[in-house]
C-alpha cells in the first residue's frame, strides 16, 4: 500500500509554484483575513475576491475544476450557519411551515458566510497543492514558529505516510476476515461494543508500535550525533521578485479591504 496519494502537492512548472513559499503563506493568510473582514452583503467585494483567487488558480495550471472539487470540503459545515436564515430579524422574504420566516438580512448573512468559507478554502487548497511540504516547513521557520515545533511537525510528516500505510493495512486485514457464516441465519457483525473494542485495539497497537518506533528513531538520531539541539541551514533571503509579488499582493488586498470598509 502506498499512501503517497495523501500528499496534496501537484508539481507543475507554473508561476504560482515557483513563488517563494514564505510569500505564498503570508499572502494566503492575508487573503483569508481579507475575506473574513469583508462585510456581510458586500457583493462587489466578493466578486473581486473570487476574481483574485480564480486568477491565481488559472496561473497555477492545475485547472479550476480541481479547485472546485477540493473546495467542496467545507460544504457540510455550512449546515451550522443555516439557522441564521431565520433568526436574524428583518423583512421577511418567505414564510415557511412551523412559523419560520426567511429574512433578507438572514439570507445575506448566510450567503456571505458560505462565500467566505468557499473563497478561503480555495486559497488554502492553492497553498497546499502548489507548495512542497518541505518548503512550507521552511516558511513556518522563517515566520518564527518555534524550532522545536517545526522539527516535530517535520518528523510527523516523514512518518505520516508510514503510519497511514500501517493503518490501511490493519483495516484491510480486518475486512479480509469480516465474513458471514455458512449458516445464513446468523447475523454477522458482532456487537457494537465489540466492534468498537476491535477498532480500539487497532488504535492501541498503532500507538504502542509508534512509541517503540520512536525509541528506535531516537537511537538512530543519537547514532548520528543528535544532541537535542535542532540545527538547520539558514533560511535563504527572500529574492527581490518575491518581495515585489508580496508588496503587490498585499497592496491589492489592502485596496480591497479599504473599498469594503469605505463603502459599507
Partner 1 sequence: MFAAPLPMHIPDGFLSVAVSIVFWVISVIVIGISLARVNRDLGERQVPVMGVLAAAIFAGQMLNFSVTGGTSGHLLGAALATILLGPWAAVLVMTCVVAIQALIFQDGGLLVLGANLFNMAILGPFVAYPVYKLIQRISGGKPWGVFVGGGVAAWASILVASLSCAFQIALSGTSPANVAIPAMAGIHALIGLGEALITVGALSLVYAARRDLLQTGSAQPVRNNTAVWVGGSLLTLALVILSPLASSNPDGLEWVAEQAGFLETARDPSYNIIPDYVLPGISNEATATILAGVVGAFIVLAAALALAYARRKRSA
Partner 2 sequence: MSCVVEVEHLSFSYPDGHSALNDVTFSLGHGQKVALVGPNGAGKSTLLLHLNGIHPRQSGSIRVSELDVEGKNLPRVRALVGLVFQSPDDQLFSPTVFDDVAFGPIYQGLSAAEVHTRVEEALEMVHMEAYIRRVSHHLSVGEKKRIAIATVLSMKPDVLILDEPTAGLDPRARRSLIELLRELPQSMIVATHDLPMVRELLPRTLVMDGGLLVADGPTAELLSDPALLHDHGLEM
Ligand X SMILES: Nc1ncnc2c1ncn2[C@@H]1O[C@H](COP(=O)(O)OP(=O)(O)OP(=O)(O)O)[C@@H](O)[C@H]1O
Note the residues at the interface with ligand X (CB under 6 A). 1-2
Task: Determine the number of helices (DSSP H) and then strands (DSSP E) in the chain.
Answer: 11, 2
Q: Tell the smallest beta-carbon distance from residue 204 to partner 1 (Å).
A: 3
φ, ψ for residue 44, nearest 5 deg:
-55, -35
In this structure, the number of other CB atoms found within 10 A of the CB of residue 187 comes to 8
Q: Tell the smallest beta-carbon distance from residue 194 to partner 1 (Å).
A: 9
- The verdict on 109 binding partner 1 (CB under 8 A) reads yes
- Binds partner 1 (CB under 8 A): choice among 1, 96, 156, 251: 156
- The verdict on 157 binding partner 1 (CB under 8 A) reads yes
Which residues inside 233-252 make contact with partner 1, applying CB under 8 A?
Answer: none
Which does residue 211 touch among ligand X, partner 2, partner 1, none (CB within 5 to 8 A, set by kind)? partner 1
Which residues inside 28-57 make contact with partner 1, applying CB under 8 A?
Answer: 28-29, 32-33, 35-37, 39-45, 47-48, 50-52, 54-56
Which does residue 109 touch among partner 2, ligand X, partner 1, none (CB within 5 to 8 A, set by kind)? partner 1
- Which residues would be at the binding site for partner 2 (CB under 8 A)? 5, 166, 169-170, 172-182, 186-190, 194, 198, 201-202, 204-205, 208-209
Which does residue 149 touch among partner 2, partner 1, ligand X, none (CB within 5 to 8 A, set by kind)? partner 1
Q: How many residues bind partner 1 (CB under 8 A)?
A: 115
Q: Which helix (H) or strand (E) holds 103?
A: strand 100-103
Cell of 237: 533571503
Q: Where are the beta strands (DSSP E) in 22-99?
A: 92-96
Which does residue 255 touch among ligand X, partner 1, partner 2, none (CB within 5 to 8 A, set by kind)? none
CB 249 within 8 A of CB 52: no
- For partner 1, give the closer residue by CB, 227 or 237: 227
- Binds partner 1 (CB under 8 A): choice among 227, 231, 234, 237: 227
Which residues inside 184-223 make contact with partner 1, applying CB under 8 A?
Answer: 189, 192-193, 195-211, 213-215, 217-218, 221
- The verdict on 115 binding partner 1 (CB under 8 A) reads yes
- The verdict on 264 binding partner 1 (CB under 8 A) reads yes
Amino acid at each position: 500500500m502506498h499512501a503517497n496519494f495523501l500528499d496534496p502537492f501537484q508539481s507543475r512548472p507554473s508561476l504560482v509554484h515557483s513563488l517563494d513559499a514564505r510569500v505564498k503563506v503570508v499572502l494566503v493568510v492575508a487573503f483569508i483575513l481579507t475575506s473574513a473582514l469583508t462585510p456581510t452583503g458586500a457583493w462587489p467585494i466578493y466578486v473581486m475576491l473570487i476574481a483574485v483567487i480564480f486568477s491565481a488558480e488559472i496561473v497555477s495550471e492545475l485547472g479550476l475544476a480541481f479547485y472546485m472539487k477540493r473546495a467542496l470540503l467545507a460544504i457540510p459545515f455550512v449546515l451550522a450557519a443555516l439557522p441564521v436564515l431565520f433568526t436574524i430579524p428583518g423583512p421577511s422574504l418567505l414564510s415557511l411551515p412551523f412559523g419560520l420566516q426567511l429574512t433578507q438580512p438572514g439570507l445575506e448573512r448566510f450567503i456571505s458566510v458560505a462565500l467566505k468559507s468557499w473563497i478561503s478554502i480555495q486559497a488554502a487548497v492553492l497553498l497546499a497543492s502548489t507548495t512542497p511540504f518541505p518548503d512550507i516547513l521552511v516558511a513556518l521557520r522563517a515566520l518564527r514558529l518555534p524550532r522545536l515545533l517545526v522539527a516535530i511537525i517535520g518528523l510527523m510528516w516523514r512518518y505520516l505516510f508510514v503510519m497511514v500505510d500501517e493503518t490501511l493495512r490493519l483495516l484491510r486485514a480486518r475486512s479480509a476476515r469480516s465474513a458471514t457464516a455458512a449458516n445464513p441465519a446468523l447475523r454477522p457483525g458482532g456487537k457494537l461494543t465489540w466492534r468498537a473494542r476491535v477498532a480500539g485495539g487497532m488504535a492501541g497497537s498503532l500507538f504502542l508500535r509508534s512509541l517503540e518506533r520512536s525509541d528506535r528513531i531516537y537511537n538512530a538520531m543519537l547514532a548520528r550525533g543528535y544532541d537535542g539541539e535542532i540545527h538547520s541551514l539558514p533560511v535563504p533571503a527572500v529574492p527581490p521578485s518575491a518581495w515585489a509579488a508580496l508588496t503587490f499582493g498585499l497592496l491589492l488586498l489592502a485596496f480591497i479591504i479599504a473599498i469594503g470598509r469605505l463603502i459599507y
